[in-house]
Amino acid sequence: MPFPYKRVLVIGATSGIGEALAERIVEEGSSVVVVGRRKEKLEAFVHKHGRDRATAVPFDITELEKIPNFATNITSTYTDLDCVLMNSGIQRSLDFSKPDSIDMEVVETEFRTNYLSYLALTKAFLPFLQSKPQESALMFTTSGLALVPMVRCPNYCASKAALHHWILVLRKQLRGSKVKVVEIFPPAVQTELHDEKHQPEIKNGRQIGMPLDQFTKETYAGLVAGKEEVVIGDAARWYDAFEGGRQDMFNKMAG
């Protein structure tokens, strides 16, 4: 089954999950616009896959005030855009039992990257997607840690939990529209998210979790199957344990 969208904006595509999903989407016949802060990584992606299938736009999504103009430039340039995949994220270790170790600027940047930027991007792109006569999609990468937190990275878990709850509401608010809302729940995956550079207490961080190729294969299968929630690995075990019941309660309250 082919990927249902023809031109996909992949935000957070310079490495890891975002880069891997962008590559798979291109390989299956769709075009991508890859976005991230590291221009050289984006240019390498375009060089690898060709300018007929991939283009690059360097952008820092933490600059929230610039997002409206970014969205206008994207949608006026790529009028056939029908899917926005938001994947950017950072993870930092925080130990609140040692208050003097907590840098609130780090806390704020993590939350802005993982949560507030997604809201601002959605607000900016929704009018364009809502105007399209055919189905379009907003796709969000959250985390299994949105369901069950980890002691080492409390703010990361909180940001993903906030994003998950917001996505549930967004999907409900957009019911009846042609904009599909998709949430991807990764388990731990072998990417640079756990690099020692930003979390020095972790050694060999890129060996933690599911191999990236396996994750990409399973996630892509869920996307082409049309699932609104693509839950992978340990995240699926946690989801099955209780999330269905919680969403039943949410749906009853929303109804």
Q: Residue 108: what pLDDT? A: 98
Domain locations along the chain: 7-254
Cβ pair 34, 42 in contact under 8 A: yes
Q: Residue 109: what pLDDT? A: 97
For the chain, give the mean pLDDT: 93
Cα gap 147→107, rounded to integer Å: 20
* Lowest-confidence segment of 153-157, 179-183, 188-192 by average pLDDT: 188-192
- Whether domain 7-254 has CATH 3.40.50.720: the reply is yes
Q: How confident is the model at residue 189 (pLDDT cuts 50, 70, 90)?
A: confident
Residues 6+ apart with CB under 8 A from 3: 25, 28, 29, 30, 220, 223, 224
Q: How confident is the model at residue 235 (pLDDT cuts 50, 70, 90)?
A: very high
- What is the pTM for the complete model shown? 0.92
Over 60: is that where the pLDDT of 51 sits?
Answer: yes
Q: How confident is the model at residue 207 (pLDDT cuts 50, 70, 90)?
A: low
Angle between helices 117-130 and 154-173 (to 10 degrees): 20
pLDDT in tens, 18-36: 999 999 999 999 999 999 9
pLDDT average, residue stretch 100-112:
97
Q: Residue 190: what pLDDT? A: 82
Q: In the chain, where does DSSP find H-type helix?
A: 16-27, 39-49, 67-77, 104-111, 117-130, 154-173, 212-224, 234-238, 244-254
Angle (nearest 5°) at CA 189 between 208 and 87: 140
Q: Look at 62 and 1; give whichever has higher pLDDT.
A: 62
